[in-house]
């Protein structure tokens, strides 16, 4: 084999290796374990050094506490679980382990959207009165009440246990008992508002996942003949039709984790669109 041929083979091998390294780096881009989004007003966070004004998009860790006051905020855990924090609420991140993710609600109320985007098994939410354990569901929760719109939530209070189904709520009575009943029309109105907010947050999270891998974002937009401005409109259109997502993504030359996550978020968004239609 001549020297020129050897050099040529070496260059080709180096290029192939470089491409593989790039795609592996893209595929295994770091996952955001806990990210805080500020929706409105002033939101504060205590990371162990006292209360400070929170920044939109800041990353959180275990034991961090978020307080909303008159504002609204959302925490996204493991790029899979959405925790909407209502005004005058306080939430602490207790455990971020994949197998036992846990938050604590000391005051106020939250809206939870639990998805399966990154394979997290379970979420536990504790309050001074109740403990709720969920898998794949969407619900609202205050200190002494849980309202479920999708999936099932296990609620425990003073040794009592209730499995709350869609369209039901569990609540602590004046006699300190855990009871359950169907949601009223007024409560459903509040649930619809929460679903709409969750849908907007999921779209924001999907875009964040894609934009973290800018090379992938560029490849995807070029593959479908889109520029950046029309790409977002195209995603919105996908959310409201039945086009086969797997067939679409198969057109990409490579399918890294960011694309898989974006596809999973799109499925969740579509599910929310159908859910809203079903309860109107």
Structural domain boundaries of the chain? 34-183, 192-279
pLDDT band for position 228 (cuts 50, 70, 90): low
Q: Which of residues 218 and 64 earns the better pLDDT score? A: 64
Percent above pLDDT 70 for the chain: 81
pLDDT band for position 111 (cuts 50, 70, 90): very high
| Contact of 112 with 81, CB cutoff 8 Å | yes
| Contact of 228 with 221, CB cutoff 8 Å | yes
Q: pTM for the full model?
A: 0.79
As a residue count, the chain comes to: 280
Average pLDDT, the chain: 83
Instruction: Count Cβ atoms below 10 Å from residue 161 Cβ, excluding itself.
Output: 12
pLDDT band for position 220 (cuts 50, 70, 90): low
**Predicted local confidence at residue 212, as pLDDT:** 76
**Predicted local confidence at residue 148, as pLDDT:** 95
Decide if pLDDT at 44 tops 60.
Answer: yes
CATH 2.60.120.1440, applies to 34-183: yes
CA distance 54 to 125: 22
Query: Which tokens sit at 160?
Result: 């009592």
Decide if pLDDT at 23 tops 50.
Answer: no
For residue 145, the number of C-alpha atoms closer than 13 Å in the C-beta half-sphere is 14
**Predicted local confidence at residue 30, as pLDDT:** 59
Q: 266: exposed, middle or buried (C-beta count within 10 Å: 0-12, 13-18, 19+)?
A: buried
Q: Which of residues 220 and 236 earns the better pLDDT score? A: 236
């Amino acid at each position: 084999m001549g020297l020129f041929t050897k050099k040529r083979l070496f260059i080709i091998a180096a290029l192939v290796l470089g491409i593989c390294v790039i795609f592996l780096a893209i595929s295994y881009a770091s996952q955001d374990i806990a990210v805080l989004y500020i929706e409105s007003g002033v939101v504060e966070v205590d990371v162990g050094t006292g209360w400070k004004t929170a920044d939109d998009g800041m990353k959180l860790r275990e034991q961090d506490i978020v307080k909303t006051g008159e504002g609204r905020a959302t925490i996204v855990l493991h790029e899979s679980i959405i925790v909407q924090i209502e005004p005058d609420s306080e939430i602490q991140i207790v455990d971020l382990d994949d197998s036992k993710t846990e938050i604590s609600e000391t005051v106020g109320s939250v809206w939870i959207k639990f998805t399966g985007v990154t394979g997290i098994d379970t979420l536990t939410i504790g309050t001074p009165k109740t403990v709720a354990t969920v898998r794949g569901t969407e619900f609202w929760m205050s200190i002494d009440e849980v309202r479920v719109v999708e999936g099932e939530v296990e609620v425990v209070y003073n040794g009592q246990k209730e499995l709350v189904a869609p369209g039901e709520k569990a609540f602590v009575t004046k006699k300190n008992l855990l009871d359950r009943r169907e949601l009223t029309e007024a409560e459903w109105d509040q649930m619809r508002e929460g679903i709409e907010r969750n849908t907007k947050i999921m779209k924001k999270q999907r875009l964040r996942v894609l934009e973290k891998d800018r090379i992938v974002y560029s490849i995807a937009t070029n593959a479908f003949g889109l520029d950046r401005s029309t790409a977002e409109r195209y995603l919105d259109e996908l959310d409201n039709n039945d086009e086969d997502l797997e067939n679409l993504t198969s057109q990409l030359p490579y399918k890294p984790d960011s694309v898989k996550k974006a596809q999973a978020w799109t499925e969740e968004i579509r599910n929310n669109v159908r859910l809203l239609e079903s309860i109107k």
